[in-house]
Amino acid sequence: MTAEAYPLQWPTGRARTERWRREPAPFDVTFARARDDIVREVELLTGTRHYGDAYVVISTNTALARDGLPLAGQRQPDDPGVAVYFTYKKRQMSFACDRWTKIEDNMRAISKTIEALRSIARWGTGDMLEAAFTGFEALPAPGAVRAWWEVLGVARHATKDEITQAYRRAAMDAHPDRGGSHDRMAELTRARDEGMRDK
């Protein structure tokens, strides 16, 4: 599991709710109950019961208890977002919510979402569950660096010529002068340089 429980590590590429759009939730749940419900729902979904193990990470801006889960009884932070990371059928999954004004309500929304997805499997439509889960596959954690061959979209054993060609094709779209971004261009350049060093 690559995500950290504290501070909040929001999944890369997931939109955030603007602060002024957050609202009180319709839930009536305590912090501890909401946190424990997430753990329970993940256990039921994955069939994993490893207490004290890092099979699920609940990432928030609240202090952690000894077991690595968010500690109840803390002041609400300015950012009430919650991101949950776990492994399902050897795939890293992430669920995130920051729609509500309280952390416990965002945790509740995530546990209810997982519960709803579990019901899809219960009613014999597992293929729909697999399709639904493709949108929750975790992207790399913030700050994580992808392998050079993934960035360039080539095989790991690509030749220098293939690396150069892939870089040039990708750079045409990624260059800031053509509507791309400096970050994407820097990522491509790093990947090309690493690939060339590997060869």
pLDDT, block means (10 residues), the chain with 199 residues: 79 87 94 95 80 72 89 92 87 90 97 88 64 58 69 82 88 77 84 86
Specify whether the CB–CB gap between 141 and 3 falls below 8 A: yes
Determine if the pTM surpasses 0.85: no
Amino acid at 143: G
Note whether residue 116 is domain-resident. yes
Note whether residue 48 is domain-resident. yes
Q: Does one domain contain both 162 and 114?
A: no
Structural domain of residue 58, as residue ranges?
A: 19-136
The number of folded domains in the chain is 2
Distance, CA of 182 to CA of 177 (rounded, Å): 10
Note whether residue 85 is domain-resident. yes
